[in-house]
Structure 1
Amino acid sequence: MQTFPSFLVLKDRPVLVLGGGENAARKIRLLRKAGASVTVAAPNINDEIADHVAAGHVRHRATSFSPALLDGVRIAIGAAEDETENLALADAARTRGVFVNVVDRAELSDFLVPAIIERGDITIGIASNGTAPLLLGRIRAQIEALLPSRLGELAALAGDFRNSVARVIREPRQRKRFWERVFDGPVAQKALAGDLSGARSTLLAQLNAPQADAAGSVALVGAGPGDPDLLTLKAQQVISQADAVLYDDLVPPAVLDRVRRDAERIAVGKRKGRHRLSQTQINALMAELAGQGKHVVRLKAGDPFIFGRGGEELEYLQAHGIAVQVVPGITAALGCAAAAGIPLTHRDLSHGVTLVSGHLKDGEDAIQWAERARAGETVVVYMGLSRAADIRDRLLQAGVSPTLPVALIENGTRPEQRVSAGMLYALPALAARHAGDGPVLLVIGKVAATARISALPQQRRA
Structure 2
Amino acid sequence: NLLLKAQTKIECIAMNFCDDLITLSKTNDIDLVAKHFEPGDIRNYSAIISATNDESLNTLVSKVAHESGIPVNVVDSPDLSSFIMPSIVDRSPVVIAISSAGRAPVLARIIRAKLETIIPSAYGELAEIAGQYREKVKRRFNNIKERRKFWEGAFSGVIAEKVFSGRSQEAKKELEKRLVETKDEGLGEVYLVGAGPGDPDLLTFKALRLMQQADVVLYDRLVSKGVLELVRRDAEMVYVGKKGGESSHQVEINKLMVDLVNSGQRVCRLKGGDPFIFGRGG
Common topology (TM > 0.5): yes
What is the CA deviation profile of residues 60-80 of structure 1, one whole-angstrom value per residue up to 9, with x for unaligned ones? 333443444443223222212
- Are 2:260 and 1:289 equivalent residues in the alignment? yes
Aligned pairs (5 A) from 1:359-398:
none
Partner residue in 2 for 1:181: 153
Instruction: Determine the C-alpha separation between the residues in 1 that align with 2:16 and 2:104.
Output: 30
Q: CA contact under 8 A between 2:39 and 2:64: conserved in structure 1?
A: yes
The counterpart of 1:227, out of the listed 179, 199, 202, is 199
Residues 56 and 283 of structure 1: CA distance in aligned 2, closer, same or farther (over 3 Å): same
Is contact 2:62–2:81 with CA below 8 Å preserved after alignment? Answer: yes
The separation in 2 between residues aligned to 1:47 and 1:263, in whole angstroms, is 54
Counterpart CA distance in 2 for 1:35 and 1:110 is: 22
CA positional deviation for 1:199: 0.9
Q: TM-score, normalised by structure 1?
A: 0.56
- Paired residue for 2:65? 93
CA distance in 1, matches of 2:232, 2:122: 25
Q: CA deviation at 1:225?
A: 1.0
1:77 aligned residue: 49
The residue number in structure 2 matching 1:39 is: 11
Given that residues 99 and 108 in structure 2 are in contact (C-alpha distance below 8 angstroms), is that contact kept between their aligned partners in structure 1? yes
In structure 2, the partner of 1:263 is: 235
| Counterpart in the other structure of 2:276 | 305
**What are the within-5 Å matches in structure 2 for residues 302-341 of structure 1?**
302-306=273-277, 308=278, 310-311=279-280
> Do 1:222 and 1:302's aligned partners in 2 also have CA atoms closer than 8 Å?
yes
Partners of 1:223 and 1:301 within 8 A in 2: yes
d(CA) in 1 for partners of 2:265 and 2:77?
45
From 77, 81, 90, the counterpart of 1:105: 77
Paired residue for 1:62? 34
SS of the residue corresponding to residue 189 of structure 1 reads: helix
**Cα 1:37–1:253 shift into 2, 3 Å:** farther
SS state of the match for residue 190, structure 2? Answer: strand
Paired residues of 1:174 and 1:214 also in contact (CA < 8 A): no
Distance (whole Å) between structure 2 residues aligned to residue 223 and residue 150 of structure 1: 32
* Residue identity opposite 1:282 in structure 2: I
| Structure-2-length-normalised TM-score | 0.89
Question: Among residues 102, 108, 111, which one is paired with 1:136 in the alignment?
Answer: 108
Cα distance in 1 between the residues matched to 2:41 and 2:248: 61
Count the aligned residue pairs.
Answer: 282
SS in structure 2 at match of 1:305: helix
Structure with the higher helix share, 1 or 2: 2
User: CA-to-partner distance for each residue in 1:209-236, whole Å, 9 max, x for gaps?
Assistant: 3532364212111111122111122212
Q: Aligned Cα RMSD in Å?
A: 2.3
Deviations 1:28-63 (A, max 9, x none): x11122233322222322222223332242233334
What is the SS of the residue equivalent to 1:226? coil
Is contact 1:222-1:301 (8 Å) kept?
Answer: yes
CA distance change for structure 1 residues 288 and 77 in 2, over 3 Å: closer, same or farther? farther
What is residue 198 of structure 1 aligned with on the other side?
170
Residues 310-459 of structure 1 mapped to structure 2, 5 A cutoff? 310-311=279-280
> Structure 2 stretches of 5 or more lacking a match?
none
Counterpart Cα distance in 2 of 1:288 and 1:79: 60
Displacement after TM superposition at 1:276 (Å)? 5.3
Q: Is the 8 A contact 1:239 1:259 kept in 2?
A: yes
The Cα shift of 1:136 comes to 2.7
Distance 1:209 1:185 in 2: 16
Give the AA of the match of 1:74: S
**Structure 1 pair 217/67, CA: closer, same or farther in 2 (3 Å)?**
farther
Contact 2:186 2:262 in 1 (8 A): no
Question: Separation in 2 of the partners of 1:58 and 1:167?
Answer: 45
Seen in structure 2, the aligned counterparts of structure 1 residues 296 and 59 have a Cα distance that, compared at 3 Å, is farther
Per the alignment, do residues 177 and 61 of structure 1 end up closer, same or farther by CA in structure 2, a change over 3 Å counting? same
Query: Matched residues in 1 for 2:8 and 2:119: separation?
Result: 27
Q: Is 1:151 the counterpart of 2:105 in the alignment?
A: no
SS for the counterpart of 2:276 is: coil
Do the aligned residues in 2 keep the contact of 1:38 with 1:58 (CA within 8 Å)?
Answer: yes
- Secondary structure in structure 2 of the residue aligned to 1:134: helix
For 1:285 and 1:67, how far apart are their aligned partners in 2? 66
Runs of at least 5 residues in structure 1 that lack an aligned partner in the other structure: 1-28, 316-462
Higher relative contact order (Cα pairs below 8 Å, separated by 6+ residues): 2
**8 Å contact 2:4–2:28 — kept in the other structure?**
no
